[in-house]
Structure 1
Amino acid sequence: MTVTGSYGFTAPPEVVFGSLTDPDRVARWLPSGVTADRAGPDRYRVRAGGTVVVCEVATVPDDLRLEWRLADRPGVHGTVRAEDGPSGGAQVHVTVDTPDAGPDRVRALVGDAMRRLQLDVDDNFNAG
């Protein structure tokens, strides 16, 4: 199953991508109830309730794209890409592939993460 979504930001795509890929800011935009800590150069240990998974992350800076996959769950992966949006802002496109989660749950988690990312970007981009 593939879930996609697009989200608008007032900041330029490079600023959004910077917030998305900054290891010190990951906790600010993860969905509520989800935490992560570094487990290696391109790996995070992600916790949601009693579930812990290892997420492998790769960035493609020239394309403003982040790719991820769960190390222990084949088939669960996704991409997040920032591109130019209206009025100098960004449009962020998210794709999540997962064989075992309902689309409504995935959309809710992605929507929560994007709302939190928007708040973090807006707080930092528009700060004094």
Structure 2
Amino acid sequence: MSEYEHIRTMQGLPEIVFDQASDPGRLDAWLPEGLYVRPDDLPAVTVHEDATGRDEPALYRAEPDRLRIEWKTRDGGGYTGWLQVDALDPGGSEVTIHLSFRDAAGQPPREAVDSALRESLDRLAEQVRLRVDGEPG
């Protein structure tokens, strides 16, 4: 099993960050480019990857009381992940994103996963910044 984790601070209350990150209709705004989530009958979702053209059935759960999002492939053989938002003073947040791949043979290269996680957190931080600043986003 391979594990990946990245942490980023963001300027915004944890509830705002979580709301921006957890809305199934806005996931595409911060996920890596070329990766799209289509909510089916929650917790069921379909993840589409442009690079492979494949659709992957997955499960998605947001826990507002814990400021946590969890996801995994439905077949149980691919990957699991979570995103946790924690409060920082004053009015900031720390966001941790974690991925676990069960099958090392089927996972992308480590550099690609690390880059995608950093990019995702940067995109989420920009979405939060736009929201906090009152700009469309």
Q: In structure 1, how many angstroms separate the alpha carbons of the residues matched to 2:77 and 2:49?
A: 18
The yes-or-no answer on 1:116 pairing with 2:117 is: no
> What residue number does 2:20 align with?
19
SS in 1 for 2:99: strand
Q: In structure 2, how many angstroms separate the alpha carbons of the residues matched to 1:103 and 1:81?
A: 22
Question: Which structure 2 residue ranges, 5 or more long, are not aligned?
Answer: none
TM-score w.r.t. the length of structure 2 is 0.85
Matches within 5 A, 1:53-64: 53-64=56-67
Aligned-residue sequence identity (percent) comes to 23
SS in 2 for 1:105: helix
1:59-103 CA distance string (max 9 Å, x none): 222211111101124251011000012432000011110133232
Segment of structure 1 superposing worse, 67-76 or 83-92: 67-76
Q: In structure 2, how many angstroms separate the alpha carbons of the residues matched to 1:60 and 1:33?
A: 26
Q: In structure 2, how many angstroms separate the alpha carbons of the residues matched to 1:55 and 1:96?
A: 14
Equivalent AA in structure 2 for residue 34 of structure 1: L
TM-score w.r.t. the length of structure 1 is 0.91
Where in structure 1 do 4 or more consecutive aligned residues deviate above 3 Å?
none
Query: How many residues matched?
Result: 128
Q: CA deviation at 1:27?
A: 1.6
> What residue number does 2:10 align with?
9
Q: In structure 2, how many angstroms separate the alpha carbons of the residues matched to 1:23 and 1:87?
A: 28
Q: 1:48 to 1:7 in 2, by over 3 A?
A: same
Q: CA deviation at 1:56?
A: 0.5
- The CA RMSD measured in Å over matched residues stands at 1.5
SS in 2 for 1:40: coil
Does structure 1 conserve the Cα–Cα contact (< 8 Å) formed by 2:42 and 2:60? no
Matches within 5 A, 1:9-88: 9-49=10-50, 50-88=53-91
SS in 2 for 1:14: helix
> What residue number does 1:107 align with?
114
